[in-house]
Chains A and B, each alone.
Chain A
């Protein structure tokens, strides 16, 4: 059973019965799932959650699906690591890293896609689809495979081969579109009208985005049922940022944690920072930009939920931070070299933003802080390829090895 009552427009409040739709027919603003929180409050407890599976589905009372047999590949409940080495360098005593690279397809997208594919099957869809340059493609292909559904994954024709292997292995129909991003977007919107497909981030978006709340729930549970003082969230569409905030507040309103005083900070690459631009201009209006950054996962120039990220920043007293491509690469290296976590470029953006937040005094030494690391670095190796330490080439002899070591230390000296 589900406690999700209906869909409701986030602005005009018009309600709709559950359906594969994500935009209000009256004002064209996004729809959101609404729940019967009174009914949830009667059943939910820390103990009930703790008895659940060690996946994101331990929070299923707060997710919008009916099915008992959800489409899952052990999604979520990823480690929350006390990052003492990184914290020491930055001057933080209570720094944590939420390592969501350890999901089935190595990114947080598995959380939203697990919900979307489960819901798509409930709606009777036999085909799942998405347009992606990386993580979403992998996730939709994998979860559709698990569900026994057909998958259509649209990618730009010039996408590097290495990036599509992680999706192709699951056997979707891969369609390489010879066009710019705008043209691919337009094509996909027309396909939604023409085919009875579950386009996870278009017609299933209202359900899909709910999966991101679990990143708020998990951190609160893993910290011993309390909300941190700061979180740093990467912003692309803006959905994850506002859903982490929603997740923490749902927990508080259900009495599972105390009042939430978390400041939810937003991190974007400067080459695609429409939310940071709006935040710095003091406006709630997100103007679309043309992306120009190596951080492709955050290269969304026209964020669907940018306004809600700004709203969350305002409500939570968060700060939006932009970082250069150089700074984000340094951030990737710093996380890898201090904590042994190889994050993709998005993680580099988060760590670089964290550094700036500490340097500017927004985050204090003794405040509990969580950095969300949402994807694995193996998918974006080219970002750091020429920034790695030189390797030593030797012959198979001790002499050659020791000579190479001497030369290497001379070079360093």
Chain B
């Protein structure tokens, strides 16, 4: 089983969508929320994903396709 720590940032139009629920349901990924801040016009969620590497990759790709921004925890790795 692989683990991935990520931050989802939701645009206003996706705030009401059950994206994290669907990620777990469709891709068999365990979603473990650690921190979150969701308001009417925007929201972010920090979570750990656990599952088969391939399922996590596919799940993250699907989340990105919905329009949610996916960032790794700990900020950008590439520095100048």
Contact = CB atoms under 8 A, between A and B. Distances in A.
A interface, by DSSP: helix, strand, loop or mixed? mixed
A130 B79 contact: yes
Nearest to A291: B76
Nearest to B5: A28
B34 A288 contact: no
Contacts of B67: none
B4 to A, nearest CB: 8
A310 interface: no
B71 A288 contact: yes
Contacts of A156: 78
Contacts of B71: 288, 302
Contacts of B80: 132-136, 236, 296-300, 346, 375
Interface string B21-44: 000000000000011010000101
Contact of A201 (B48, B72, B77): B77
A181 B79 contact: no
B27 to A, nearest CB: 17
B76 A205 contact: no
A31 to B, nearest CB: 10
Contact of B79 (A23, A136, A285): A136
A211 interface: no
Contacts of B78: 131-133, 154, 156, 181, 184-185, 188, 300
Interface string B48-80: 100000000000000000000101111111111
A172 B48 CA distance: 33
A187 to B, nearest CB: 9
Interface residues of A, number: 44
Nearest to A375: B80
Interface string A282-312: 0001011000000011111111111000000
A28 B34 contact: yes
Nearest to B42: A287
B75 A300 contact: yes
A300 B77 CA distance: 9
A169 interface: no
Given A23-B5, A27-B35, A288-B9, A236 B79 contact: yes
Nearest to B75: A304
A348 interface: no
Contacts of B37: 285
A105 to B, nearest CB: 13
A184 B75 CA distance: 13
Contact of B76 (A26, A109, A130, A304): A304
A288 B70 CA distance: 10
Interface in A188-213: 188-189, 199, 201-202, 205
A306 B71 CA distance: 14
A293 to B, nearest CB: 11
Given A28-B34, A28-B46, A237 B76 contact: yes
Contacts of B35: 27-28
Contacts of B73: 23, 28
A300 B5 contact: no
B44 to A, nearest CB: 8
A168 to B, nearest CB: 17
Nearest to A374: B80
A39 interface: no
Nearest to A307: B75
A205 B74 contact: yes
Contacts of A64: none
Nearest to A300: B76
A300 to B, nearest CB: 5
16 contacts: A26-B34, A28-B34, A133-B80, A134-B80, A186-B72, A189-B72, A199-B77, A236-B79, A285-B37, A287-B42, A288-B9, A297-B79, A300-B80, A304-B76, A305-B75, A375-B80
Given A22-B74, A27-B34, A181-B76, 4 more contacts: A185-B76, A299-B80, A300-B79, A303-B76
Interface of A: 22-23, 26-28, 30, 109, 130-136, 154, 156, 181, 184-186, 188-189, 199, 201-202, 205, 236-237, 285, 287-288, 296-306, 346, 375
Top 10 A-B residue pairs of the complex, sorted by shortest distance between their CB atoms: A304-B75, A297-B80, A185-B77, A136-B79, A131-B78, A300-B76, A188-B77, A302-B76, A134-B80, A28-B73
